[in-house]
Structure 1
Amino acid sequence: MEQQYKKIMVAVDGSSEAELAFKKAVNVAKRNDAELLLAHVIDTRAFQTVSSFDNVLAEQATEMAKQTLADYENYAKESGCAHVSKVIEYGAPKMMIAMQIPEENKIDLIMLGATGLNAVERLFIGSVSEYVIRNASCDVLIVRTDLDNQLPEENE
Protein backbone atom coordinates (compact mmCIF):
# COMPACT_ATOMS: atom_id res chain seq x y z
CA MET A 1 0.00 0.00 0.00
CA GLU A 2 1.17 3.49 -0.82
CA GLN A 3 2.38 5.68 2.06
CA GLN A 4 -0.15 8.35 2.86
CA TYR A 5 0.11 11.13 5.40
CA LYS A 6 -3.00 11.93 7.43
CA LYS A 7 -1.92 14.96 9.51
CA ILE A 8 0.66 17.37 8.17
CA MET A 9 2.03 20.24 10.22
CA VAL A 10 3.74 23.22 8.66
CA ALA A 11 5.51 25.70 10.89
CA VAL A 12 5.05 29.27 9.70
CA ASP A 13 6.66 32.44 10.99
CA GLY A 14 6.08 34.95 8.21
CA SER A 15 9.49 34.37 6.60
CA SER A 16 9.93 33.66 2.90
CA GLU A 17 11.38 30.22 3.77
CA ALA A 18 8.28 29.36 5.77
CA GLU A 19 6.07 30.52 2.92
CA LEU A 20 7.81 28.10 0.53
CA ALA A 21 7.19 25.28 3.02
CA PHE A 22 3.57 26.34 3.46
CA LYS A 23 2.80 26.31 -0.27
CA LYS A 24 4.37 22.88 -0.69
CA ALA A 25 2.52 21.64 2.41
CA VAL A 26 -0.80 22.68 0.85
CA ASN A 27 0.01 20.58 -2.21
CA VAL A 28 1.12 17.57 -0.15
CA ALA A 29 -2.02 17.82 2.01
CA LYS A 30 -4.25 17.93 -1.09
CA ARG A 31 -2.51 14.92 -2.67
CA ASN A 32 -2.88 12.92 0.55
CA ASP A 33 -6.36 14.22 1.45
CA ALA A 34 -4.71 15.05 4.76
CA GLU A 35 -5.45 17.56 7.48
CA LEU A 36 -3.10 20.53 7.38
CA LEU A 37 -2.14 22.08 10.71
CA LEU A 38 -0.68 25.59 10.49
CA ALA A 39 1.55 26.14 13.51
CA HIS A 40 3.12 29.33 14.77
CA VAL A 41 5.26 29.48 17.90
CA ILE A 42 5.82 32.79 19.65
CA ASP A 43 9.26 32.65 21.24
CA THR A 44 8.64 33.87 24.79
CA ARG A 45 12.37 34.24 25.45
CA ALA A 46 12.31 37.36 23.28
CA PHE A 47 10.06 39.10 25.83
CA GLN A 48 12.03 38.24 28.97
CA THR A 49 14.57 41.03 28.52
CA VAL A 50 12.06 43.86 28.12
CA SER A 51 10.12 43.76 31.37
CA SER A 52 7.91 46.83 31.03
CA PHE A 53 6.71 45.95 27.52
CA ASP A 54 6.18 42.20 28.01
CA ASN A 55 2.38 42.21 27.74
CA VAL A 56 2.17 44.73 24.91
CA LEU A 57 4.80 42.96 22.82
CA ALA A 58 3.27 39.55 23.46
CA GLU A 59 -0.19 40.82 22.49
CA GLN A 60 1.18 42.39 19.31
CA ALA A 61 3.00 39.17 18.40
CA THR A 62 -0.17 37.18 19.01
CA GLU A 63 -2.29 39.49 16.83
CA MET A 64 0.27 39.34 14.02
CA ALA A 65 0.38 35.54 14.28
CA LYS A 66 -3.43 35.31 14.18
CA GLN A 67 -3.55 37.44 11.03
CA THR A 68 -0.75 35.48 9.35
CA LEU A 69 -2.43 32.16 10.13
CA ALA A 70 -5.82 33.45 8.92
CA ASP A 71 -4.24 34.51 5.61
CA TYR A 72 -2.54 31.13 5.22
CA GLU A 73 -5.75 29.30 6.13
CA ASN A 74 -7.70 31.24 3.47
CA TYR A 75 -5.05 30.48 0.84
CA ALA A 76 -5.05 26.76 1.71
CA LYS A 77 -8.84 26.50 1.55
CA GLU A 78 -9.02 28.48 -1.71
CA SER A 79 -6.36 26.11 -3.12
CA GLY A 80 -8.59 23.12 -2.38
CA CYS A 81 -7.23 21.92 0.94
CA ALA A 82 -10.36 20.68 2.69
CA HIS A 83 -9.09 20.18 6.24
CA VAL A 84 -7.14 23.12 7.68
CA SER A 85 -6.60 23.96 11.33
CA LYS A 86 -4.24 26.33 13.09
CA VAL A 87 -2.47 26.65 16.40
CA ILE A 88 -0.49 29.39 18.14
CA GLU A 89 1.79 28.25 20.95
CA TYR A 90 4.16 30.07 23.28
CA GLY A 91 7.61 28.86 24.28
CA ALA A 92 10.79 27.60 22.67
CA PRO A 93 10.09 27.04 18.95
CA LYS A 94 12.50 24.09 18.69
CA MET A 95 10.77 22.07 21.41
CA MET A 96 7.25 23.01 20.40
CA ILE A 97 7.72 22.22 16.69
CA ALA A 98 9.77 19.06 17.20
CA MET A 99 7.80 17.45 20.00
CA GLN A 100 4.90 19.11 21.78
CA ILE A 101 2.66 20.19 18.88
CA PRO A 102 3.20 16.97 16.87
CA GLU A 103 2.51 14.75 19.88
CA GLU A 104 -0.63 16.66 20.91
CA ASN A 105 -2.00 16.60 17.35
CA LYS A 106 -0.83 13.14 16.15
CA ILE A 107 1.20 14.66 13.30
CA ASP A 108 2.85 12.24 10.87
CA LEU A 109 4.74 14.79 8.72
CA ILE A 110 6.36 18.09 9.71
CA MET A 111 7.24 20.51 6.92
CA LEU A 112 9.63 23.41 7.57
CA GLY A 113 11.42 26.05 5.57
CA ALA A 114 15.21 25.86 5.46
CA THR A 115 16.81 28.34 7.81
CA GLY A 116 18.42 31.55 6.75
CA LEU A 117 21.07 31.36 9.47
CA ASN A 118 24.74 31.57 8.60
CA ALA A 119 27.37 29.23 10.08
CA VAL A 120 28.17 31.50 13.05
CA GLU A 121 24.48 31.94 13.98
CA ARG A 122 23.93 28.16 13.79
CA LEU A 123 26.94 27.62 16.07
CA PHE A 124 25.60 29.92 18.78
CA ILE A 125 21.81 29.56 18.58
CA GLY A 126 21.33 26.47 16.44
CA SER A 127 18.72 26.09 13.78
CA VAL A 128 15.14 25.11 14.48
CA SER A 129 15.08 22.82 11.44
CA GLU A 130 18.22 20.99 12.56
CA TYR A 131 16.76 20.44 16.03
CA VAL A 132 13.44 19.23 14.59
CA ILE A 133 15.21 16.78 12.25
CA ARG A 134 17.13 15.29 15.17
CA ASN A 135 14.28 15.13 17.69
CA ALA A 136 10.92 14.70 15.95
CA SER A 137 9.32 11.27 16.15
CA CYS A 138 7.69 11.60 12.71
CA ASP A 139 8.90 12.35 9.19
CA VAL A 140 10.34 15.81 8.58
CA LEU A 141 10.59 17.53 5.21
CA ILE A 142 12.83 20.60 4.89
CA VAL A 143 11.71 22.79 2.00
CA ARG A 144 14.35 24.74 0.10
CA THR A 145 12.68 25.25 -3.28
CA ASP A 146 9.53 26.83 -4.69
CA LEU A 147 6.59 25.00 -6.27
CA ASP A 148 8.62 24.56 -9.47
CA ASN A 149 11.48 23.03 -7.45
CA GLN A 150 13.66 26.05 -8.15
CA LEU A 151 15.76 27.82 -5.56
CA PRO A 152 14.22 31.23 -4.84
CA GLU A 153 16.16 34.21 -6.13
CA GLU A 154 18.15 36.07 -3.50
CA ASN A 155 16.85 39.56 -2.67
CA GLU A 156 19.81 41.85 -2.17
Structure 2
Amino acid sequence: MLKQYSKILVAVDGSRESELAFKKAVEVAKRNEAELLISHIIDVRAFQSISSFDETLADEATAIAKETLNDYITYANEHGLENVSYSIEYGSPKPLLSKQLPEERKIDLIMMGATGLNAVERILIGSVSSYVSRHALCDVLIVRTDLDNRTLPQKKKEEE
Protein backbone atom coordinates (compact mmCIF):
# COMPACT_ATOMS: atom_id res chain seq x y z
CA MET A 1 0.00 0.00 0.00
CA LEU A 2 1.35 3.39 -0.96
CA LYS A 3 1.21 6.19 1.58
CA GLN A 4 -0.69 9.26 0.42
CA TYR A 5 0.46 12.38 2.28
CA SER A 6 -2.01 15.21 2.76
CA LYS A 7 -0.08 17.76 4.85
CA ILE A 8 3.63 18.21 4.33
CA LEU A 9 5.89 20.39 6.45
CA VAL A 10 9.20 21.55 5.01
CA ALA A 11 11.70 23.26 7.29
CA VAL A 12 13.84 25.99 5.74
CA ASP A 13 16.74 27.86 7.27
CA GLY A 14 18.45 29.59 4.35
CA SER A 15 20.96 26.80 3.72
CA ARG A 16 21.39 25.18 0.33
CA GLU A 17 20.30 21.88 1.90
CA SER A 18 16.99 23.36 3.03
CA GLU A 19 16.42 24.88 -0.40
CA LEU A 20 16.83 21.43 -1.95
CA ALA A 21 14.37 20.03 0.60
CA PHE A 22 11.91 22.79 -0.28
CA LYS A 23 12.12 22.09 -4.02
CA LYS A 24 11.62 18.37 -3.46
CA ALA A 25 8.74 19.11 -1.06
CA VAL A 26 6.99 21.07 -3.82
CA GLU A 27 7.24 18.04 -6.11
CA VAL A 28 6.07 15.60 -3.42
CA ALA A 29 3.15 17.87 -2.53
CA LYS A 30 2.12 18.10 -6.19
CA ARG A 31 2.24 14.31 -6.65
CA ASN A 32 0.21 13.77 -3.49
CA GLU A 33 -2.15 16.71 -4.07
CA ALA A 34 -1.11 17.75 -0.57
CA GLU A 35 -1.00 20.98 1.37
CA LEU A 36 2.55 22.32 1.87
CA LEU A 37 3.55 24.29 4.95
CA ILE A 38 6.93 26.01 4.71
CA SER A 39 8.28 26.72 8.17
CA HIS A 40 11.18 28.86 9.33
CA ILE A 41 12.17 28.77 12.99
CA ILE A 42 13.88 31.78 14.51
CA ASP A 43 15.90 30.33 17.36
CA VAL A 44 15.59 33.06 19.98
CA ARG A 45 18.18 31.31 22.15
CA ALA A 46 20.81 32.65 19.74
CA PHE A 47 19.90 36.18 20.82
CA GLN A 48 20.32 35.46 24.55
CA SER A 49 24.09 35.79 24.41
CA ILE A 50 23.89 39.26 22.91
CA SER A 51 24.03 41.69 25.82
CA SER A 52 22.50 44.56 23.86
CA PHE A 53 19.64 42.45 22.50
CA ASP A 54 16.50 44.34 21.73
CA GLU A 55 13.52 43.44 19.60
CA THR A 56 15.03 44.98 16.46
CA LEU A 57 17.20 41.87 15.92
CA ALA A 58 14.17 39.60 16.02
CA ASP A 59 12.22 42.03 13.84
CA GLU A 60 15.01 42.06 11.25
CA ALA A 61 15.21 38.26 11.26
CA THR A 62 11.44 38.08 10.81
CA ALA A 63 11.46 40.57 7.91
CA ILE A 64 14.19 38.63 6.09
CA ALA A 65 12.34 35.35 6.70
CA LYS A 66 9.07 36.77 5.35
CA GLU A 67 10.76 37.97 2.17
CA THR A 68 12.41 34.58 1.59
CA LEU A 69 9.23 32.64 2.38
CA ASN A 70 7.19 34.79 0.00
CA ASP A 71 9.76 33.95 -2.71
CA TYR A 72 9.29 30.26 -1.89
CA ILE A 73 5.52 30.58 -2.20
CA THR A 74 5.95 32.26 -5.58
CA TYR A 75 8.22 29.40 -6.70
CA ALA A 76 5.69 26.79 -5.53
CA ASN A 77 2.82 28.56 -7.31
CA GLU A 78 4.86 28.88 -10.51
CA HIS A 79 5.55 25.14 -10.35
CA GLY A 80 1.88 24.22 -10.11
CA LEU A 81 1.33 24.03 -6.34
CA GLU A 82 -1.55 26.14 -5.09
CA ASN A 83 -2.15 24.89 -1.56
CA VAL A 84 0.95 26.33 0.07
CA SER A 85 1.49 28.54 3.12
CA TYR A 86 4.25 29.48 5.52
CA SER A 87 4.80 29.94 9.20
CA ILE A 88 7.49 31.74 11.13
CA GLU A 89 7.97 30.30 14.60
CA TYR A 90 10.10 31.45 17.52
CA GLY A 91 11.88 29.05 19.84
CA SER A 92 13.89 25.87 19.71
CA PRO A 93 13.69 24.19 16.27
CA LYS A 94 13.92 20.63 17.58
CA PRO A 95 10.64 20.39 19.54
CA LEU A 96 8.83 22.78 17.23
CA LEU A 97 9.57 20.69 14.14
CA SER A 98 9.32 17.23 15.66
CA LYS A 99 6.23 17.61 17.85
CA GLN A 100 4.51 20.98 18.18
CA LEU A 101 3.94 21.89 14.51
CA PRO A 102 3.03 18.34 13.44
CA GLU A 103 0.44 18.13 16.24
CA GLU A 104 -1.02 21.60 15.66
CA ARG A 105 -1.15 21.33 11.86
CA LYS A 106 -1.91 17.57 11.51
CA ILE A 107 1.32 17.08 9.50
CA ASP A 108 1.92 13.59 8.11
CA LEU A 109 5.32 14.17 6.46
CA ILE A 110 8.24 16.39 7.48
CA MET A 111 10.89 17.15 4.87
CA MET A 112 14.16 18.83 5.71
CA GLY A 113 17.71 19.15 4.48
CA ALA A 114 20.55 17.12 5.87
CA THR A 115 22.64 18.94 8.43
CA GLY A 116 25.38 21.29 7.36
CA LEU A 117 27.12 21.11 10.73
CA ASN A 118 30.60 19.64 11.01
CA ALA A 119 31.35 16.60 13.19
CA VAL A 120 32.41 18.59 16.27
CA GLU A 121 29.26 20.74 16.20
CA ARG A 122 27.09 17.61 15.87
CA ILE A 123 28.74 16.12 18.96
CA LEU A 124 28.31 19.29 21.01
CA ILE A 125 24.83 20.43 20.02
CA GLY A 126 23.41 17.73 17.76
CA SER A 127 21.75 18.38 14.47
CA VAL A 128 18.13 19.42 14.12
CA SER A 129 17.54 16.90 11.33
CA SER A 130 18.93 14.07 13.44
CA TYR A 131 16.73 15.02 16.39
CA VAL A 132 13.60 15.39 14.28
CA SER A 133 14.15 12.05 12.57
CA ARG A 134 14.34 10.33 15.97
CA HIS A 135 11.50 12.15 17.75
CA ALA A 136 8.95 13.12 15.10
CA LEU A 137 5.36 12.02 15.40
CA CYS A 138 5.13 11.34 11.65
CA ASP A 139 7.26 10.29 8.70
CA VAL A 140 10.45 12.27 8.07
CA LEU A 141 12.36 12.59 4.82
CA ILE A 142 15.91 13.94 5.05
CA VAL A 143 16.90 15.38 1.66
CA ARG A 144 20.51 14.91 0.59
CA THR A 145 20.25 15.29 -3.20
CA ASP A 146 19.01 17.75 -5.79
CA LEU A 147 15.90 17.34 -7.96
CA ASP A 148 17.84 15.00 -10.26
CA ASN A 149 18.94 12.91 -7.23
CA ARG A 150 22.54 14.03 -7.59
CA THR A 151 24.54 14.36 -4.41
CA LEU A 152 25.70 17.88 -3.63
CA PRO A 153 29.43 18.54 -3.84
CA GLN A 154 30.90 18.67 -0.35
CA LYS A 155 31.70 22.07 1.09
CA LYS A 156 35.33 23.10 1.03
CA LYS A 157 37.06 23.52 4.38
CA GLU A 158 37.16 27.33 4.05
CA GLU A 159 33.36 27.42 3.63
CA GLU A 160 32.72 25.58 6.94
TM-score, normalised relative to structure 1: 0.96
2:24 aligned partner: 24
Report the Cα offset of residue 54 of structure 1: 2.8
Secondary structure of residue in 2 paired with 1:142: strand
Q: Secondary structure at the match of 2:98?
A: helix
Aligned length: 156
Matches within 5 A, 1:116-127: 116-127=116-127
How big is the shift at 1:102? 1.0
SS at match of 1:9: strand
Q: Is the 8 A contact 1:40 1:65 kept in 2?
A: yes
Aligned to 1:42: 42
SS at match of 1:110: strand
Q: Distance between the aligned counterparts of 1:84 and 1:96, measured in 2?
A: 19
Paired AA for residue 25 in structure 1: A
**Cα deviation, residue 152, structure 1:** 1.6
Corresponding residue number in structure 2 for 1:95? 95
- The Cα shift of 1:118 comes to 1.6
Q: Could you say what secondary structure the match of 1:59 adopts?
A: helix
**1:36-62 Cα shifts (integer Å, max 9, x gaps):** 000000000011111323311111110
**Map of 1:61 onto structure 2:** 61
TM-align CA RMSD:
1.1
1:151 corresponds in structure 2 to 151
Structure 1 SS opposite 2:54: helix
Gaps of 5+ in 2: none
User: TM-score under structure 2 normalisation?
Assistant: 0.94
Gapped regions of structure 1 (runs ≥ 5): none
Sequence identity percentage: 66
Q: Compute the displacement of 1:155 (Å).
A: 5.1
